[in-house]
């Protein structure tokens, strides 16, 4: 809905947004609407792999250089391969989606040439894609955002690249802060909070696995509210969570052996938006006006 998109853009303007990576739901509005919204925005829309279907030129800006505390930061956006097949088959959309690895090398080289000391990918990607890109392009310091909806309490690491996933629909705010010591030219980040966070994650995953096992047993026995005939989703979810637990335990073991002597380090915070942050009155007023104009939205938000 365009009216809701207008409210989003206005809210981001008030928040002082630096940039936004284009995702598949954004593209469902159509290029014409997105171009109008981009003009309304006080920040650029980024996507290095969404190109015009005819000219093959990028539809939006590929990257952006910003200065933060005297350091040049290169930002770029990517859309997942998961949307690529559909977009490329439907010429009526007016755009194609290129494979993320196909364009990443070029964009990383360009932002480095422009003086970027830190490179951040705004990724509308799966965690698997994030990990593959981090491994292939170690120059990327951080990958923010993904489509996994895994509620990761702490970033994944691939080499010295940090991958965050602050869940979906703006329910949580992922805050990754990089502290770079002025004496370190080739900095490697220490991570003082990682061990405690991983210990918490392991406990949470163990509880989730126990819950999934009980739900699966009940479903197979035909117990509970409503009979579940197809248990394949529960089985896959359980298997995926068990893999996640194995990796978390491996990461915990590594974290325990890590040196604490690094001069540069990171911190990560993950506050729920509704509990720790007060509503901005200007944004809240726009939301309430939108609900009055479209009553269906008010019902859907309850």
Tell me the pLDDT tens digit for each residue of 243-265: 989 988 988 887 766 655 678 88
- Strand, coil or helix: what is 229? coil
Report the percentage of the chain scoring pLDDT > 90.
39
- The reported pTM is 0.78
Contact call for residues 100 and 146 (beta carbons, < 8 A): no
Long-range contacts of 237-242 (CB under 8 A, 24+ apart): 237/212, 238/209, 238/212, 238/213, 241/205, 241/208, 241/209, 241/212, 242/209
Tell me the pLDDT tens digit for each residue of 187-214: 777 777 778 888 888 999 999 999 999 9
Q: Where are the domains of the chain?
A: 2-190+261-300, 196-257
Q: Burial-class residue 97 by CB neighbours within 10 Å (0-12, 13-18, 19+).
A: buried
Give residue 262's pLDDT: 74
Q: Which fold has domain 2-190+261-300?
A: Purple Acid Phosphatase; chain A, domain 2 (3.60.21)
Under the banding of pLDDT at 50, 70 and 90, the label for residue 20 is very high
More confident residue, 27 or 185: 27
Please state, in angstroms and rounded to a whole number, the distance separating the CA atoms of residues 44 and 57. Answer: 17
């Amino acid at each position: 809905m365009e009216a809701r998109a207008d409210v989003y853009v206005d809210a981001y303007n008030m928040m002082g947004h630096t940039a936004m990576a284009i995702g598949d739901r954004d593209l469902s509005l159509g290029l014409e609407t997105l171009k109008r919204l981009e003009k309304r925005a006080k920040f650029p829309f980024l996507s290095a792999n969404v190109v015009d279907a005819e000219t093959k030129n990028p539809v939006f800006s590929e990257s952006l250089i910003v200065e933060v505390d005297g350091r040049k930061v290169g930002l770029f956006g990517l859309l997942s391969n998961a949307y690529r097949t559909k977009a490329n088959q439907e010429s009526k959309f007016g755009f194609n989606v290129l494979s993320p690895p196909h364009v990443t090398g070029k964009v990383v080289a360009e932002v480095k040439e422009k003086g970027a000391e830190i490179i951040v990918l705004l990724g509308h990607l799966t965690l698997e894609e994030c990990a593959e890109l981090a491994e292939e392009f170690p120059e990327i310091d951080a990958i923010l955002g993904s489509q996994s909806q895994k509620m990761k309490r702490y970033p994944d690491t691939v080499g010295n690249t940090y991958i965050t996933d602050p869940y979906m629909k703006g329910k949580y705010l992922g805050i990754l802060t990089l502290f770079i010591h002025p004496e370190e030219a080739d900095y490697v980040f220490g991570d003082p909070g990682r061990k405690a966070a991983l210990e918490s994650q392991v406990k949470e995953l163990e509880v989730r696995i126990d819950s999934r096992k009980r739900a699966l047993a009940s479903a197979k026995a035909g117990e509970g509210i409503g009979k579940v005939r197809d248990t394949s989703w529960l089985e896959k979810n359980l298997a995926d969570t068990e893999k996640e637990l194995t990796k978390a335990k491996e990461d915990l073991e590594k974290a325990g052996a890590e040196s604490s002597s690094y001069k540069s380090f990171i911190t990560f915070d993950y506050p729920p938006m509704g509990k720790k942050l007060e509503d901005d009155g200007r944004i809240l007023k726009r939301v309430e006006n939108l609900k009055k104009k479209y009553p269906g939205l008010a019902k859907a938000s309850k």
